[in-house]
Structure 1
Amino acid sequence: MASTPLYTLLCLGTACVLFFLSGELSVNDVSGRNGSPNWSSVSTSGCQLTFTSRGVKASCKELSLHSVPKGLPYNTIVLDLSENMIETLSNKSFTYLPDIIKLELPFNDMTFIEDGTFKPLVNLTELNLEDQLIEIDLSDNNLIYLPEGMFFCNKVLQKLRLNRNKIQSWSGSTISNLCSLNHLNLSGNKIYNIDNGTQTLPSLEYLDLSFNKILHLHIFFLQIYTNLKILRMSNNGLIWIFPNTLSGLTNLKELYLTNEHLIQYTKPFQDMSNLRILDLSSAIQDMTSDATLFTNLTSLKRLFLCKNNLQSRHLFDTLTSRSLFTNLETLLTLDLRENDLDMLAPGTFNPLKKLEILLLSQSSVKVLFTGVFEGLTSLKALDLSDNYISSISDDVFPIQSQLSVLNMSNNNLGIISMTLFNINPDFQSLYIQQNKITTIKRGTIFPKNFTIDASRNPLGCTCDLRWFVKWLRLSNVEVIHPNDTLCSQSSIKDMVESPILSFNPDKYCGINILLITSVSLTGILVVALSLLAYWKQWWFNYKAFLLRLAICGYKEVVQDFKDHDYEYQLNLMFQEEDQEWVDDIMKPVLQERFPHLERVVFGDNDLHLGMFYINALHYAVENSFKTVLLLSNNSVREAWFITKVRIALEELNDSRLDKVILFFLEDIDDDDLPYLVRLFLSKNKPYMLWTDDEDGQELFWAQFEKSMRSNKELNSVIPV
C-alpha cells in the first residue's frame, strides 16, 4: 500500500493531461487571465498547436495523415490538414471540433466526402478543398457532383474553395442555406452543366468558374447571384452567350472572359452600368460590326481586347462615323495588343477623353493618320511597339497632350520628326530601339529631363550626329542600354561598332579648312561671273533664248482643269458591246482612283433627256472637259460610232483644245481603222492601249490621270 499515493498521483497527472488536451481547460487557465503571450506545443499526432486568446490554431501539414487526427483541443478554431494523404471524410471526422472557423484541406488524396461531414462545424467560415481528386463513382474514380445539402448546417460559411478538382456537374443545392457565403471558387474542374436551384445567394460577391467546360451561358445561369461583384469565366471555350444572360448582374464590377470562342452574342453587356473591368482577351472568334457593343458600360475603367483578330473596321464605322468605344467616357486603360489594325481611322479614339493607357503593340499597324489620337487629351502612356510604322508626323498627337511615355520600339522608323516631342514638357520616356534610324536631325526638340532607349539602330557616328552626342552628355538624360547603342557601318571608320557615347566629335569634326577655302573661292567666282553677265547681259540673253529654244522648243499653252467651267467632267462614248469593260474595269477604277470625277457621262444611257440623239451627242461633247472614245473591233464597224468620232473631232477643231482621248481596248489592224481615226493619230493626238499586263495597266491609268489635268491648246485643225 506504500505505492498507493504514488499511483494516485500518477493517475491524477494523466487525467489532467487528458483533460487539457480535450479542451476542458480554457486558454485563460493555461496562459493566464491577464493577457499573457501566446504559446505553442505539439499534439500527440504531431500537429503544431498555437494557443491564442480566441482559441487554438492547429497546423497538421505534411504529416502523412490518413484521417483527421484525434486528440486535438476542443476549442480548435483553425485546422490546417493540407499536403497529407487523407482519402475520405466521414460524418464523424469533426464531431469533437465544433469551434472550427477555418478548415484547410488542399493537396490530399481525397476520393469521398460523406454527407453531413461538415454538419458539426456550425461556425465554419472558410473551407479550402483545393487540388482534391474528388470522385463519386468509386468504380472509375470520377466524382460527378457533391452531395446536396452537404453544407446545410454551415450557415456562417463565407469562403468555399473547390478549385482544381474533377467536378463535372454543379448544383446550387450543394450550397443552399449558405446565407453568409461571399466567395466561391470552382475553377479548374470539368464542369459543363450547372443547375442553380431555386434559392438565391444575395451574399455571394465572388464567383470563379474559369478553366471548366462551360460552352453556353443561358438566361437562368446566373440569376440567383443577384449581388455578384466579380465573375471569372475564362478558359471555358465559351461559344454562345444568350441574350440578357448578364443583364441581371447590375452590381457586377469585374468580368473576365478570356480565351473563349464566342461566335454568338447579342448585346451581352446591357444593364451593367457598374462594371469597372472587362477582360475579353482572346475571347471573340467572330467580332461583330455592332458599334453599340459597349454602349451601356458607362462606368468602365479597364477594357482588354487583345488577341481577337480585330481590324480597323471593327473599331470605327466609316459609313456612320461611329466608334466602337462610344460612351466609354470613363475608360482609363484600353488593351488592343496582338490584333490586325493596319490603318487606324481618325475618330476611332475620340470618345475616350479620360483614357490614360493605350496598348497597341503587335497589332500590324502600318500607318498613323493625322488626328488618329486627337481625342486622347488625357493619354499618358502609348505602346506602339512591334508594328510596321515607318514614319510618324508632327500632328499625330493632340496639341494639349499629356503623353509622358511612348514606346515605338521594333518598328520601321527611319527618321524622327523634329517637333514630335514638343507636345508635352513633362514627357518622360521614349523607347525607339530596334528601328532603322540612321541620324537625329539637328534642331530636333527633346524634353529636358527624360529617359531614352535608342539601342540597336543603325546610327551613323558622323559629324552630322555630333550635336546629338554632345546633347546626350550635357543634358539630364538617362540613356538605357548605352552599350547596345552602337555606331553603324556608315560611321567614321574608327567608331564602327563602338557606343555612340564614346564618339568624340571634336576629334573628327574640327574646322574644315578645305571647305572654308572652297566656299571663299566659289564666292569670288560668283561675283566675277555676275559682273561679266551684267556687262554682256544683252548678248547672254540672246544666246540663252536660242539655246532654250533649241533644247526645250516652245512652251505649249494649256488650259488648267476648272471644275466649274464644264457641266461634265468626263464623257465616255462607246458601243453596247463594250459596256461590260466599262462596268467591270472603268467604273471601279474611277471610284477608287479618281473619286473627284463625279459628273461622268457613261455612254448613251446618260445623254441629256428631251433632245434628239444627234443633238444630245453634241451637247455631251461640247459640255465635257474630256471626251474618251473606246475603240474595239466591233465599234469601228458601226456607223453610229463613226458619227460619234466625227462629232468629237469637230468639237476639237471648234474649241482648239485637245479634249479628245482614244482608248484602244484591243489591237485593231491598220486596214480596219476608220479614216477619221487615222487622221487623228497622224496629228500625234493622245491615245492609250489597254493591256492585260498589270504593269501596263498601271502605266495606262497614270497616262489617263495626266491627261485629265489639263487641255493643251492646238495650233492646227483636223480636216474632218
Structure 2
Amino acid sequence: MTSLRLDIDKSFHGCDQNLELKKASCRNKDLDTVPQNLSEDTEVLDLSQNNITKLLNSSFEVYPLIYFLDISSNDVRAIESAAFYPFKGLKDLLLAFNPRLVLPATGVFMMSTQLSILDLTSSNLKSLPNDTLNWSPHLDTAYLWFNQLSFINVSSCGMADTVDMTGNRLQHLTARDFTFVCHTDTLDLSENPIQSVDPHVIASLHVRSLVLGGYPLSYEVLANIILGISKSNIGKLTISKGSVGAFPDGFFDLLRDSSLSVLSFIYNDLNSFHPLVFSNLTKLKQFTLSYNNLPIDEIQPDFFEGMKALKVLRIDDNKWLIDWLNEPIRLKNKDETIEETPASLESLRKKPLLDFEPNELCIINNGLFSLIPLVSISLVVISVLLYHYRWQLRYKLYLLKLAVLGFKEMRDARDHNDYEFDVNIIFYDDDEDNEEWIREQLRPALEERLPQFQRNVFGDQDLVVGMHYLDSVDYVVSHSYKTIIVLSRAAVHDHWFILKFRTAMDHVSDTLTEFVVVVFLENIPDDEMPFLARLYLSDGRPYIHWTEDVRGQDYFWDELTKNLTINLRTNDLIPNE
C-alpha cells in the first residue's frame, strides 16, 4: 500500500518531521506562532490550518533553507516587511485562506527572487502592493482568486506565466483603476463585474492571452475590448459564461490586422449574428463558438472567405449541425475539412466532415412530441404509486440495466492496479456532518464491498505533503482510478472545494473517461447549485443521492459499488439517464 504520509520523527513540539527528507508538517496543530525548535535544515514546512496571526521578521530566521512554505488557512493579519527575507531559495509560498490578510506596503518579497508559485487565494485582500510581482524574474503562477480587489496598481513587475484574478470586484479597466505592466502569458479576469473599459488600458497590456467572463458585458464594454485588442499584441481572447449575447455587423472589423490568432466564446448565450460578422478576422487560426444556442440555418459560401488563416473551428454543442448536414453542402477543400470533436463522436475524429451521417448517429423521434400531453396526464395519475415504490423500482431497473448492458459496461477501459491510488474522496473537510458521513458510512462500506481498494485518499489530510496545494490535488486526481466528489450545501459555498471540483472536471475532459462519481449528501436548491455541478449533471455523468431510507441505501451502495468498479470512456452517443 502506497502511503501519502511522511515517515515521521515525533518530537515534543507536536510537529511531524522527516529529517532525511528535510520536511516538517505542523498542519492543524493549534499553533498561534511559528515553532522555533524544528530542524534548522528544514526545506519544506507546512503550517496550514493553525491559528497564526503574525509573521515577524524573526519568525523564520532559523530556517534559511526553506523553499516550500504553506501558511494557508490561518488567521495571518500582519506580516512584517522582512519576514520572508531569510529565504533566498523560496519557490512556493502559500498564504491562501487567511481571511484578514494585509500585505506590507512594499518589499515583502524583495529577497524571494526564485519565487515560482504565490498563492493568495480567498484572503480578503482589498489591495495589492504595486511591487508584489516585481522581485521574481519569472513567476510561474500568481493565484489571486476570490479576493476583494476593486482596483489594481501593479506598476512594477517582471514576468509571470499566469496571473489569475478570478472572482474579485474589478468593475473598471481604466487608467485610474487598473494598471498592470507584467509581461504575462495569461491574465485571467473572469468572474469580475466589469462595467467599463478604456481601450488604451487593454492596448497597453503585455499579455498573450486575456480571459474574461462570468458577468454580462455591455456592447460598449465589448467594443472597447475589441478596440484595445486591435492595438495590442494580445494573441488569444476568451470570453465565457453568459457574458455575450449578440454581435452586430462589422463588430470585428478592427481586428483585421491585429495579432489575435485565437478567439473563444464558450458557454455564452449567442443565438444569432450577421453572416459575415467574422469575415475580417484574417489572422485568426483557431475559433471557438462551443456551448452556445446557435440555430444556424445555413452558412453562406463566403462565410469563411476572409478567414484565410483559420485552421481550427469548434462549434460543438450548438443546435444547428444536424439539420445543416442534412442539406446539400458545398465545401472548399472538403477532404481537408476534418472532424475534431471530443469522444462523443470519436469514430469520426480526423475524418472529413462530410463523412458525418446525422441520420445514423443523431436520431430524433418526432413522435415523442405528440405523446407529451398524454404522458403528462399519466404521470399525474401514477406519481403517488411511483413515489411509494420508488426504491424497489429503481433497484429493479438497476438490475435490468445490468442484465441488458452489463457485459458492455463491465469492460473496464483501465485497471485500478495501473494507478497509484484506487479511490480519491473529495469532500468539505470543515463540515462535521461530511466528516461523520465519511467516517461512519463511506469508509466501512468501501472496506466491506471493495476490499481490493486499499490505496484510498480521504480528503486534504491524505494529500501529498511538500507539494503546492493545487498541484497536490491535481496529482492525486490524475493518479487515482476513481474520484468521489461529496456535495453538500456547505461544500458548494466553499471556493476551495469548487476549485478541486474543477480540477476533477478538467481531468474528465482530458482523459475522456467517467472516472468521477458525484454523491449528493442533501438536496441543494437550484439557486445554490454551482455552475460546475449544473454542467456535470447536464452532461449525464454518474451521480447518486444519499438517503436516510434503508431500502434506498441498499440501492445507493449497489450503484456506487458498480460505478467504482468500472471506468467507461465518455460516450454521449448513449442517451443520458
For 1:205 and 1:289, locate their aligned partners in 2 and report how far apart those are by CA, in whole Å: 30
Instruction: Give the Å deviation of 1:161.
Output: 1.7
Counterpart residue number, 1:290: 198
For 2:294 and 2:238, locate their aligned partners in 1 and report how far apart those are by CA, in whole Å: 20
Instruction: Give the Å deviation of 1:431.
Output: 7.1
Tell me if structure 2 keeps the 8 A contact 1:342–1:364: yes
1:263 to 171, 175, 178: 171
1:252 aligns with 2:160: yes
Tell me if structure 2 keeps the 8 A contact 1:273–1:296: no
For 2:128 and 2:349, locate their aligned partners in 1 and report how far apart those are by CA, in whole Å: 54
Instruction: Give the Å deviation of 1:107.
Output: 4.7
- In structure 2, relative to structure 1, the CA distance for the partners of 1:337 and 1:100 (3 Å cut) is same
Counterpart residue number, 2:184: 275
* Counterpart secondary structure, 2:23: strand
Deviations 1:89-120 (A, max 9, x none): 5xxx98xx9x66631416533334455234x4
Give the 5 Å matches for 1:292-331: 292-298=200-206, 300-316=207-223, 323-329=227-233, 331=235
Counterpart residue number, 2:435: none
Counterpart residue number, 2:268: 362
Question: Considering only CA atoms, is the larger Rg found in Structure 1 or Structure 2?
Answer: 1
For 2:264 and 2:158, locate their aligned partners in 1 and report how far apart those are by CA, in whole Å: 27
1:201 aligns with 2:111: yes
2:291 to 354, 360, 385: 385
1:69 aligns with 2:23: no
2:47 to 129, 148, 151: 129
* Counterpart secondary structure, 2:213: coil
Considering Cα pairs closer than 8 Å and 6+ residues apart, tell me whether 1 or 2 has the greater RCO: 2
- In structure 2, relative to structure 1, the CA distance for the partners of 1:385 and 1:271 (3 Å cut) is closer
- Return the letter of the residue paired with 1:428: I
Counterpart residue number, 1:105: 25
Give the 5 Å matches for 1:531-680: none
Instruction: Give the Å deviation of 1:370.
Output: 0.9
Counterpart residue number, 2:93: 184
* Counterpart secondary structure, 1:292: helix
* Counterpart secondary structure, 1:295: helix
For 2:25 and 2:269, locate their aligned partners in 1 and report how far apart those are by CA, in whole Å: 45
Give the 5 Å matches for 1:464-475: none
For 1:403 and 1:280, locate their aligned partners in 2 and report how far apart those are by CA, in whole Å: 27
1:341 aligns with 2:245: yes
For 2:280 and 2:107, locate their aligned partners in 1 and report how far apart those are by CA, in whole Å: 51
Counterpart residue number, 1:219: 130
For 1:420 and 1:305, locate their aligned partners in 2 and report how far apart those are by CA, in whole Å: 36
* Counterpart secondary structure, 1:314: helix
Counterpart residue number, 2:390: none
For 1:375 and 1:168, locate their aligned partners in 2 and report how far apart those are by CA, in whole Å: 49
* TM-score, scaled to structure 2: 0.52
- In structure 2, relative to structure 1, the CA distance for the partners of 1:197 and 1:402 (3 Å cut) is closer
Deviations 1:319-356 (A, max 9, x none): xx962312444514534442133124132543554524
Gaps of 5+ in 1: 1-47, 49-56, 62-67, 71-85, 136-142, 433-446, 453-471, 491-720
Counterpart residue number, 1:238: 149
Tell me if structure 2 keeps the 8 A contact 1:347–1:375: yes
Deviations 1:640-661 (A, max 9, x none): xxxxxxxxxxxxxxxxxxxxxx
Deviations 1:353-411 (A, max 9, x none): 45245234323342134142422544234224322444443323235253444315334
Instruction: Give the Å deviation of 1:430.
Output: 7.2
Tell me if structure 2 keeps the 8 A contact 1:187–1:210: yes
- In structure 2, relative to structure 1, the CA distance for the partners of 1:87 and 1:481 (3 Å cut) is farther
For 2:273 and 2:199, locate their aligned partners in 1 and report how far apart those are by CA, in whole Å: 23
- Return the letter of the residue paired with 2:220: R
Give the 5 Å matches for 1:494-533: none
Instruction: Give the Å deviation of 1:282.
Output: 0.8
* Counterpart secondary structure, 1:207: strand
Counterpart residue number, 1:38: none
Tell me if structure 1 keeps the 8 A contact 2:106–2:130: no
Gaps of 5+ in 2: 343-347, 369-577
Counterpart residue number, 1:450: 351
- In structure 2, relative to structure 1, the CA distance for the partners of 1:369 and 1:172 (3 Å cut) is farther
Tell me if structure 1 keeps the 8 A contact 2:27–2:46: no
Tell me if structure 1 keeps the 8 A contact 2:240–2:266: yes
Counterpart residue number, 1:486: 364
Tell me if structure 2 keeps the 8 A contact 1:315–1:325: no
- Return the letter of the residue paired with 2:230: T
Identity of aligned residues (%): 13
Counterpart residue number, 2:405: none
RMSD over aligned Cα, in angstroms? 4.1
For 1:343 and 1:376, locate their aligned partners in 2 and report how far apart those are by CA, in whole Å: 18
For 2:274 and 2:149, locate their aligned partners in 1 and report how far apart those are by CA, in whole Å: 35
For 1:403 and 1:167, locate their aligned partners in 2 and report how far apart those are by CA, in whole Å: 50
- In structure 2, relative to structure 1, the CA distance for the partners of 1:198 and 1:289 (3 Å cut) is closer
Deviations 1:140-191 (A, max 9, x none): xxx4223442211322221212223343443443322212212211112213
- In structure 2, relative to structure 1, the CA distance for the partners of 1:108 and 1:168 (3 Å cut) is same
Counterpart residue number, 1:156: 65
1:60 aligns with 2:10: no
Runs of 4+ in 1 over 6 A off after TM superposition: none
Counterpart residue number, 1:607: none
Counterpart residue number, 1:602: none
For 1:422 and 1:173, locate their aligned partners in 2 and report how far apart those are by CA, in whole Å: 65
- In structure 2, relative to structure 1, the CA distance for the partners of 1:87 and 1:152 (3 Å cut) is closer
- In structure 2, relative to structure 1, the CA distance for the partners of 1:218 and 1:202 (3 Å cut) is closer
